[in-house]
Amino acid sequence: MRRYETIFILRPSLAEKEITDVIDNTLKIINDDGGTVIELDKWGMRKLAYLIKKEKQGYYVFCDYAALPQSVAEMERKFRIDDSVLKYMTVKITASITEEEITAVKGAIEEKKVAAQKAVEDAEKAASAESTEKAAPEKKASPENKSEEKKEEKKEEQKEEVKEETEQKTGEEKEK
């Protein structure tokens, strides 16, 4: 078995059911010959870089899989026949892949998805915490807030002192 990646672009006028039918037929071809789908990712509707069959947009689908070469030939034959497929591209990633490698790749992809989901959730939490801090009224003067205010005041005083010193030095240099 070999590992392949295929990206195909479907017509934007297709209904959701028609899109899933094309995807299901593609997966059926891969699975019938003993292949395995590693990853299927629906990228959704996107603007095309140029007109393809008089269409400005297309529905993108990415498929990473392990299959036999005849499965790929059959899938591409059906893509050429099917009018709902605007364009497709298949790339051979590896010449051979074992079941253990497939399992390892699937696990790595799943870990990436979980990490990406966690990062999105963390970003949302940070954004919501930041917006609640801005929207919340002034906090009561707690010892922590007082110490922070004092630190800020000291910083401001130090900045002013440095500024005065530099002004004095530049004034003395001008006098010379």
DSSP string, 72-136: HHHHHHHHHH-TTEEEEEEEEEES---HHHHHHHHHHHHHHHHHHHHHHHHHHHHHHHHHHHHHS
> What torsion do the CA atoms of 31, 36, 42, 48 make, to the nearest 10 degrees?
-90
Domain 2-97 indexed as CATH 3.30.70.60: yes
> What torsion do the CA atoms of 81, 42, 24, 74 make, to the nearest 10 degrees?
40
**Predicted local confidence at residue 96, as pLDDT:** 87
**Predicted local confidence at residue 169, as pLDDT:** 63
Taking residue 66's Cβ as centre, other Cβ atoms within 10 Å add up to 24
- Domain residue spans in the chain? 2-97
Tell me: pLDDT of 84 over 70. Answer: yes
In this prediction, residues 147-175 reach a mean pLDDT of: 72
**Cα(126)–Cα(120) distance, rounded to whole angstroms?**
10
Tell me: pLDDT of 143 over 70. Answer: no
Tell me: pLDDT of 136 over 70. Answer: no
pTM of the entire structure? 0.65
